[in-house]
Amino acid sequence: MRDLTEISNPYSDGKIIDSCSIFGMMDTSGKCFSGKDITKAIGNMHFRGNGLGGGFAIYGLYPEYADYYAFHIMYLSKDSQNQVESFLKENFHVVVTDEIPTQPTPAIINPPLVWRYFLEVDMGKCVLQEPDDYVTEKVMQINTCMDGAFVFSSGKNMGVFKGVGYPEEIAEYFCLNDYQGYLWTSHGRFPTNTRGWWGGAHPFNILDWTVVHNGEISSYGINYRCLEQFGYLCTMQTDTEVVAYIIDLLMRKHGLPIEIVAKIMAPPFWDDIERLPQDERELLIALRQVYSSMLLNGPFTIIIAHQGEMIGFTDRIRLRPLTVGVKGSMLYLSSEEASIRLISPDLDKAWIPMGGEPIIGRLATENQKQFITGVTEVRTGNKLR
């Protein structure tokens, strides 16, 4: 009998195309919780990675500094740190600076320096720009012009923690059990087309948008060339980076809802579009014409997060797995149902969504208390079952 590696990779070329693990969990009531459960869940999918990348995104992380942009920056040398800190002082009001706490972890070897900065935009310097656009521009400037420095998290009241290692090792290294957040996403990486390095681990971030991804974006070339026209510069040497920037462009700058964005990134096939009612058909044709360079080719499952919302969806024919679970106010998204049930055995609902159809979890509001279990809204293209 062939082993699992041979079944997964019949060509014996060392490329395991169905690996990587993703997991997201959100308390839609807004209650914060530690990283204990998500570390346990992503660790249950240890075999899907190879130790060359792991990471977490946490929302609701910095309530005492919620009005400031929180930059997490990796440095390869003290010289690069000095250069970036001078740049930050010239372009922002630096409110707080500190080294991100870590602890000795046997598996973590030669880590970079990792610092965080809480920054306020100097409105006198961005008269012709929105603050978010100003921050995005400065992040791109650091990441492209300053050797040995990478801004890998730049949102408000959230943070990314990532590096080279299995995700449970990254959680230990960054002491994530000491943090609290209402929404967590995580990733275990098995690099296929790009090298494993600290900046190339997931999640990928711009402002408060983060993306974790399992799969392969074969349209990377046309995606990044299109994004460059809008000022986004891809510097992290992996295909997933374009997904984060596409989401920021379409949802923040163009103001499109995720239901439309999903149809841009994972549209129906032309044969399917032709059979739709006229209004829907005309909309999808227009989206394909206007945003053709934003379509993602290749197999993928992604979890997108930003303040107050977690979204998961797959490519249009579901070549990478996604399972959804709901328990009370908790929404879970995972590569495997077993990881959800490990931390929440008695789910209210569990299902596999249709390809290309987004699963959306949002923080409850006073007007949403009649949705699932009275405190959450979870929507899909199909009825819950």
User: How far is Cα 268 from Cα 318, in angstroms, rounded to an integer?
Assistant: 12
Which one from 20, 145, 175, 226 is the annotated catalytic residue?
20
Catalytic site residue 20? Answer: yes
Residue 200 CB neighbour total at 10 angstroms:
23
User: How far is Cα 188 from Cα 166, in angstroms, rounded to an integer?
Assistant: 6
Whose CA is closest to 179, among 117, 70, 100, 118?
Answer: 100
Whose CA is closest to 364, among 91, 26, 17?
Answer: 26
Quick check: 156 and 71 in contact, CB under 8 A?
no
What string of DSSP letters covers 145-162? HSTTEEEEE--BSEEEEE
Q: Which two tokens stand for residue 367?
A: 């007007």
Beta-bridged to residue 277, according to DSSP, are: none
Quick check: 265 and 295 in contact, CB under 8 A?
yes
What string of DSSP letters covers 276-336? S-HHHHHHHHHHHHHSGGGPPPS-EEEEEEETTEEEEEE-TT--S--EEEEETTEEEEES-
Beta-bridged to residue 361, according to DSSP, are: 310, 378
Quick check: 312 and 358 in contact, CB under 8 A?
yes
Cα separation of the two ends of the chain: 37
Q: Which two tokens stand for residue 71?
A: 């930059």
Q: Which amino acid, one-letter code, is at 168?
A: E
3-state secondary structure at position 97: strand
- Catalytic residue numbers? 20
